[in-house]
C-alpha cells in the first residue's frame, strides 16, 4: 500500500519569523504585504501542480484581504486547520488556561468564518500535553505537531547557538529530547506524554523523518542539495511542512 503525500503550509506571520531569527519586529504594513504576497505565491504553486493542501492558520495574523484569499482556498477544496491564535512558541510551557485559550479562541474565530476545523498544529513542532485534552473535547480528528528523528532538533539547537553567539535573541523553545522517539507513523497519543502512543481519541500525524533521517520541512529542503535524502518509505505518510516564508521572491522555488 502506498501511503498519502500531504502538503501542509503553516500560516503564522512575519512577526514569528523575525522573532525566531532575532530580527527587528516588522511594521504592520510590512507584515500584511508579506502575508498576502506569500499566500498568493503558495496558492499559485499548488495550482500549478494540481495539489491540495492544509493551511494551518494563526488567526491573529490574518488581515482582511488575506482572509478572503484563505476562504477562497477553503472553498476550492483546501483544508484550513488551527495553528493557535497567536502562535506562542512557549505553548508547552504555559498553564492549562492559556493553552486552552490559544486553541479555543482560534477555533471560534475560524468557526465564525464558516470553517469547521478537524486538524491542529502546535507551534514549534511539539504537541503540548495540555493541548491533547482540549483537542479531544473540541472534537478534533488529528494533530500534526510532532517531528521525528534527531536531525531537526540538532539543526535547531545549532542555529539557536549561532544566533546567540552573534548577540541575537531567538524565541525558539527547546522541547524534550524524548520527541526524537516520536513514532514515524500516525498514532493515538498518550495524553500524559504525546510523543508516545496512548489512548487519546485524536490522531497524531507526525512530520516523519525520511529513511535518511531528514524531515521534509522548508528550511532543510532549501538547504539540502540532494533530494534523494528525503526519500520516505511508501508505507509511511509523507508530510511536507512548509511556511509562508517558503513562498517569497527571495526564497528558491520549493522543489517537488
pLDDT average, residue stretch 107-119:
98
- Count CA atoms closer than 13 A to 136's CA, side-chain side: 13
In this prediction, residue 1 carries a pLDDT of 41
pLDDT average, residue stretch 63-73:
97
- Asked whether the predicted pLDDT for residue 96 surpasses 80, the reply is yes
Query: 149: Cβ–Cβ under 8 A, 6 or more apart, which residues?
Result: 180, 208, 209, 213, 214, 215
For residue 197, tell me if it sits in a domain.
yes
For residue 253, tell me if it sits in a domain.
no
Position 21 confidence tier, pLDDT thresholds 50, 70, 90: confident
For residue 9, tell me if it sits in a domain.
yes
Phi-psi region of 125 (alpha: psi -120 to 50; beta: other; left: phi over 0): left
d(CA 207, CA 224): 17
In this prediction, residue 71 carries a pLDDT of 98
Task: CATH number of the domain at 215, please.
Answer: 3.20.20.370
pLDDT average, residue stretch 57-68:
97
For residue 255, tell me if it sits in a domain.
no
Instruction: Convert the pLDDT of each residue in 124-177 to its tens digit.
Output: 999 999 999 999 999 999 999 999 888 888 888 888 888 888 888 888 888 888
For residue 256, tell me if it sits in a domain.
no
Domain count, the chain: 1
- Count CA atoms closer than 13 A to 21's CA, side-chain side: 10
- Asked whether the predicted pLDDT for residue 94 surpasses 50, the reply is yes
Position 51 confidence tier, pLDDT thresholds 50, 70, 90: very high
- Asked whether the predicted pLDDT for residue 195 surpasses 90, the reply is yes
Q: What DSSP assignment string belongs to 147-177? A: B-SSHHHHHHHHHHHHHHHTT------PPPG
Specify the higher pLDDT residue, 238 or 252: 238
- Asked whether the predicted pLDDT for residue 255 surpasses 70, the reply is no
pLDDT average, residue stretch 34-39:
96
In this prediction, residue 90 carries a pLDDT of 94
3-state secondary structure 63-91: CHHHHHHHHHHHHCCCEEEECCCCCCCCH
pTM, two decimals, is 0.93
From the CB of residue 165, how many other CB atoms can be counted at a distance below 10 Å? Answer: 8
Grid cell in block for residue 59? 488567526
In this prediction, residue 144 carries a pLDDT of 97
Specify the higher pLDDT residue, 119 or 2: 119
What's the whole-number average pLDDT of the chain?
91
For residue 231, tell me if it sits in a domain.
yes
For residue 156, tell me if it sits in a domain.
yes
In this prediction, residue 189 carries a pLDDT of 98
Range of the domain at 76: 5-247
* 75-114 core/surface letters (b: 16 or more CB in 10 A; e: else): eeebbbbbbbbbbbbebbebeeeebbbbbbbbbebbeeee
pLDDT average, residue stretch 48-76:
97
pLDDT average, residue stretch 78-103:
97
d(CA 73, CA 77): 7
Nearest to 151 by CA among 130, 125, 116: 125
Amino acid at each position: 500500500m502506498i501511503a498519502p503525500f500531504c502538503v501542509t503550509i503553516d500560516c503564522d506571520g512575519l512577526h514569528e519569523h523575525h522573532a525566531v531569527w532575532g530580527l527587528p519586529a516588522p511594521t504592520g504594513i510590512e507584515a500584511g504585504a508579506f502575508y498576502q504576497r506569500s499566500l498568493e505565491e503558495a496558492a499559485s504553486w499548488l495550482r500549478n501542480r494540481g495539489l491540495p493542501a492544509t493551511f494551518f492558520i494563526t488567526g491573529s495574523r490574518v488581515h482582511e484581504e488575506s482572509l478572503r484569499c484563505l476562504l477562497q482556498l477553503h472553498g476550492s477544496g483546501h483544508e484550513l486547520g488551527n495553528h493557535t491564535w497567536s502562535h506562542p512558541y512557549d505553548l508547552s510551557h504555559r498553564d492549562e488556561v492559556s493553552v486552552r485559550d490559544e486553541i479555543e479562541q482560534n477555533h471560534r474565530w475560524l468557526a465564525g468564518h464558516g470553517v469547521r476545523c478537524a486538524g491542529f498544529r502546535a507551534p514549534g513542532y511539539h504537541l503540548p500535553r495540555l493541548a491533547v485534552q482540549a483537542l479531544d473535547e473540541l472534537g478534533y480528528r488529528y494533530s500534526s505537531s510532532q517531528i521525528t528523528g534527531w536531525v531537526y532538533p540538532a539543526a535547531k539547537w545549532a542555529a539557536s547557538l549561532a544566533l546567540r553567539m552573534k548577540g541575537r535573541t531567538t524565541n525558539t523553545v527547546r522541547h524534550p529530547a524524548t520527541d526524537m522517539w516520536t513514532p514515524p507513523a500516525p498514532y493515538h497519543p498518550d495524553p500524559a506524554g504525546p510523543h508516545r502512543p496512548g489512548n487519546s481519541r485524536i490522531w497524531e500525524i507526525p512530520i516523519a523523518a525520511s529513511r535518511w533521517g531528514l524531515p521534509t520541512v522548508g528550511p532543510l529542503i532549501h538547504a539540502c542539495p540532494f533530494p534523494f535524502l528525503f526519500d520516505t518509505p511508501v508505507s509511511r505518510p509523507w508530510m511536507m511542512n512548509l511556511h509562508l516564508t517558503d513562498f517569497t521572491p527571495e526564497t528558491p522555488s520549493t522543489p517537488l
